[in-house]
Every structure is written in C-alpha cells, then in structure tokens.
Chain A
Amino acid sequence: MNDMWPTLWVFVLASFIGMGVIRKVSRLLHTPLMSLTNAISAIAVVGAILVTGGDYPLHIRMLGAVALFASMANIVSGFLITDRMLKMFKTDTKPGAGGNHS
C-alpha cells in the first residue's frame, strides 16, 4: 500500500508535464509525434525484461518474451520512422526551383 501515493503523485505531475509539453508541439509534426510517443511508451519493455529474465516458470517467461518482442519492435520502428519523417521537413526548396516570389 505504501507505494500507492508516491506513484499517484508521479502520475498526476507527469500528466501535467505531458499536457504542457505536447500542447506546444508543432502541428506540422503530429504524425511523427505519435510515432515518437509510441516508441517512448514502449519503455514498458522494462517490465517485459524483468518477467522474461526472472527466476520464474518457463510459461510465464514466455509471456514476457512475447511482450519484450512487441515492445522492442515498437522501440526500433518507432524511433527509426520518426527520424525518417523528421528528416523530410525542410524549410527551403532545393536549388532550381526558380526565383523566389515577392
């Protein structure tokens, strides 16, 4: 029961930080934002590591291994695709696009 209150504190404060930070995210970047938060929340991988690597019966550890695989796939694809998308956002056209309009 002891760990209940501190964790609730963390949750409430983190939610407010999240709201504050996300509200300021550029609207241009909402798609990469989603893939980035997805990769970040795949940090649930730590729970999966503890279950998979612990001294537990094999069938329990298998549940953990599947969860670990799923989270890891999210981490890898989430960060990679976010970076791939962000690379495309450029301020100016490449040369050859003709004169800049008034």
Chain B
Amino acid sequence: MMFGVSQFAYIVASSLFILALHWMNTPATARNGVYAGVAGTAIAVLTTWADPSVIHHGWIIIAIAAGFAVGIPLSRVPLTAVPQRTALSHAFGGIAAGLVGTAEYYLRLSAEPAWLTPFHMVALIAEIVLGYLTFTGSLMAAGKLQEVKWVPQRPVTYAGQNFVNLVLFLATVGLAAALAIHPTAAWAPFLFPVVILLALTFGVLLIIPIGGADMPTVIAILNSYAGLSAVAMGFVLDSKLLITAGALDGSSGLILAIIMCKAMNRSFTNVLFGAFGQVQQVKASGEQKQYKSETPEGAAQVLEQASFVVIIPGYGMAVAQAQHKVRELYDQLKKRGITVKFAIHPVAGRMPGHMNVLLAEADIPYTDLVEMDDINHDMPQADVALVVGANDVVNPAAHTDKSSPIYGMPIIEASKARTIFAIKRSKNPGFAGIENELYFSDRTWMLFGDAKVVIGDLVKELSGGSGMH
C-alpha cells in the first residue's frame, strides 16, 4: 500500500520534470517549467522523507537548512558570474553522487554483501567515478571562470599529456573492473578509495588543458556527466525517478555540447584533448598590418545615418559589464527609427546562451536577439555591424584561411556589413590568440577601449547631439 503511494508520487514527479523541460521551448511558458520542477522536487523529497526506513531526522533538517543557506546567495550572483555558478553546481551534483555511492558501497559491504552483484557494482562504480570526476573537473572549471589566482587561466599542456591521461584512465578502468568482479574481496574496501582518488585526479587533469573559448562545450559536457552520475545512482538505488531525472539532465548536457561543438566545427575529442590555446603562436607575425581607428564622435555620426544596425556581442561585453550601456545605445538608435538586431553566436561568452541572458537582463526584448544562421542572411543589408568584445566568432579566417585553427567554424559574417566598428580592449589578439583579418578590412574601424566606456561615449554623442566636445 505504502509502496504504491510512493511509487505513484514518483511517477507524478517524473512527469512534472518532463513537463518542466517541455515548457522551456518558448520564453512565454518557460516560468511554468520552473514551477513544475519545484513541485516535482517537493513531492519527491517529501515522499522519500516519509519513507519508513528514514528514522533519524536531525541531520536531514540541518543539511536542508544549510543547503538553503548556501543556495539562496548562490542564486543572487551577478549574471556575468552565471557560468562559474553553473560549474559550481555541477561540482555539487558530482560530489553528492560520489558520497552517496561511497556510503552505499560500505553499507552493503558490511550488511548485505549479496547485493553487490556485477550489475550493481558497475552502476556504483560509474556513479562514484563520474561523480568525483565531475566534482574536481567542475571546481577547476569554476576556478578558471572566476579567475581564481591559483587556477591557471591559460591552457596547461605538457609533453605526453594525452598519454598520461590515457594511462590514468586505463588504470581507473582496470581497478574498477577488479572491484566489480571481486567487490567483497579482502582488499576491495582499500581499493575503493584508490579508485575515488584516481577519479578526483582525472577530473583535474581533464580540465587544465582547456582554454576559455572552449568553456561552453566543457560546461555542457560536465553537465552531462553530472546527469549521468545521477542515472547511475538511480541504478544503484533502483529508483526510476532518479534515472529519469538524471537522463533528462544527461541528454540536455549532451545536446548542448553537440550544439557547441558544431558551432566551433570541432569534435568532442578535439575539445577535450586538443588544447586549443596552443595553436596560437604558429602564425603570429607576417607583414605588419595597420588598424584604422575611429573616435566615438565619428562612429556616432555613422550610426546616426544607418537604417539597420547589427550588434555582435561577445565575452568582452560580459567582462566589461557593458550590457546596460548597450541597452542605452539600443534605445538611442531605436529612437531614431533605426532597426537594431543582436547577432548571437552559439559559443559567444563562456556558456551556452550566455549572451541572451545578459541582454535580457538589460531589458532588451528577446525578439531582437537573432541566431547566427538567421542574421547571416541579413548581414549584407546591414549598414553597420558593431562588434562588442567578440573576436573569433566574427573572424573571416574561419572561411578563408585553411591554416587557421578556427577554419571551418561557422561565424557571424560581420565583414559583409557596409561599415564595421569593432570595440576592442587592446591591440592584442583575443583569448584564442588568433589574428583577426576583419580588423584590417578597409571597411572596419576600430574603437579601442573598455567596451562599457566606449559605448557610453557613443551614447553620449548620440544623446547630446553636437556640442559635447
């Protein structure tokens, strides 16, 4: 009887989770998705808490209270910090799976060794390996994104790196197999922590060679791992609810990772083992080319004459926190009857959808945020393309230069606009370290400086009319 009630509750919760994701298909219904998710989670938590096997409540209450105490401030971070918050939450998901798996193993080992069948052991080991690996990997990713001092920002590579990773991976698999076959052997309880240690190390090694430009893909992959560790926990606990929720998370991470990879024309293996940042020095020099720079006054005059302006934001806009100034510029242009669209590249920023959220925060209607493929169609009609802190995603080398590391990557075709303004902090190449031909085009004018300041100056020119200087 009790079993029937709780199973029914879990079915309801699973359905609510699926509905939650379904409602995310348009911004109009998306908030219902959150409510469905909250309802599903509440039902599942209360049902489990009411389970007769749960007899101690003190620590549950303390842990839940602590979860709220940490979770609420974590939800108030500035939106520019959302990528690192996301990475941190993957780490939390990973450690939760790892710890529950560890507890389950030692419990069953002493109380119910017959339960440790090969199937359960494989699931359990998958749970702890994925869990602990996601934990350290995501912490490293969060550290890189937050620019924590002792976490190297640039990709860290060394000779034989892939070999070391491969050996470590094989060792983990080998030891895990031994554990799965002999889960109750006298040495097994001692081997178990070794596997944990290997998984923790592997997580770190997997992330250190990865550069900032690859973060969107890596975050999506870690998202997938966190989901799969929840699936594995579901196999261990024979919980269909966990399997469903974990599979939703896992497939979400996988699809996002695929979208990110396609948007960079790279494969999974290439992202994880390619060490993007290394290719940079290959073609640095060559003939000395000249930038043409423009003043905010001049740029404002050109903008005023335009009838169609496309703004292309990148990570630089996030770093400079320039989204609100961009909104002011948007308003100034709109006021003059100019059509303004934002061209969003899938990998602009440090996580999938990063630019959309920042622009939405600045109150820019999402109907003016246009995906790459759609905007490229209109690009030749654009009077002005304004590049705000984006670099690789507008680099024509992706189309023209076979030797370029980004060759083949789909880009926003800013070079097709009549006039191009590019706001850039300094004259150095971007994060990936690749020269950008666009900046040397005869129709491109550079606006050097912090994106927030430069756009602020443009707004001042446009709003003040003349006589400001």
* Interface of A toward B, CB cutoff 8 Å: 1, 3-4, 6-7, 10-11, 14-15, 17-19, 21-56, 60-94, 97-99, 101-102
Q: Across the interface, do B30 and A32 meet the contact criterion of CB distance under 8 Å?
A: yes
B-chain residues with CB within 8 Å of residue A49 when the two chains form the complex: 45, 48-49, 51, 54, 60
Query: Are B27 and A28 within 8 A (Cβ)?
Result: yes
| B75 near A84: Cβ-Cβ < 8 Å | yes
By the criterion CB–CB under 8 Å, are A85 and B337 in contact? no
State whether the Cβ of B352 lies closer than 8 Å to any Cβ in chain A: yes
Q: A36, A54, A82 — which one has the most chain B CB atoms within 10 A of its CB?
A: A36
Asked if B240 and A10 sit within 8 Å, CB to CB, the answer is: yes
A50→B38 CA distance, assembly (Å): 20
Residue of B nearest to A56 (CB): B107
Q: Is B117 an interface residue (CB 8 A)?
A: yes
Instruction: Let me know if A76 and B90 touch, CB within 8 A.
Output: no
B400 to chain A, nearest CB (A): 27
Determine if A7 and B56 form an interchain contact, defined as CB atoms under 8 angstroms apart: no
Asked, given contacts A68-B64, A70-B92, whether A28 binds B353 with beta carbons under 8 Å apart, the answer is yes
- List the 9 shortest-distance A-B pairs measured between CB atoms, nearest first: A72-B67, A76-B71, A30-B353, A18-B251, A53-B54, A41-B249, A80-B75, A98-B335, A31-B353
Say yes or no: B67 contacts A31, CB within 8 Å: no
Binding site for A on B (CB under 8 A): 13-14, 17-18, 20-22, 24-28, 30-31, 33-34, 37-38, 40-41, 44-45, 48-49, 51, 53-57, 59-60, 62-64, 66-68, 70-72, 74-77, 79, 82, 85-86, 89-90, 92-93, 95-97, 99-100, 102-104, 106-107, 117, 119, 219-220, 223, 226-227, 229-231, 233-256, 259, 331, 334-339, 344, 346, 351-354, 356-357, 360-361, 363-367, 369, 371
Residues B226 and A38 in contact, CB atoms below 8 Å apart: yes
- Assuming A35-B86, A43-B13, what are 17 further A-B pairs, CB within 8 angstroms? A22-B251, A25-B21, A25-B24, A25-B25, A30-B356, A33-B21, A35-B82, A37-B253, A46-B241, A53-B56, A54-B56, A65-B60, A73-B71, A74-B96, A75-B41, A92-B367, A98-B335
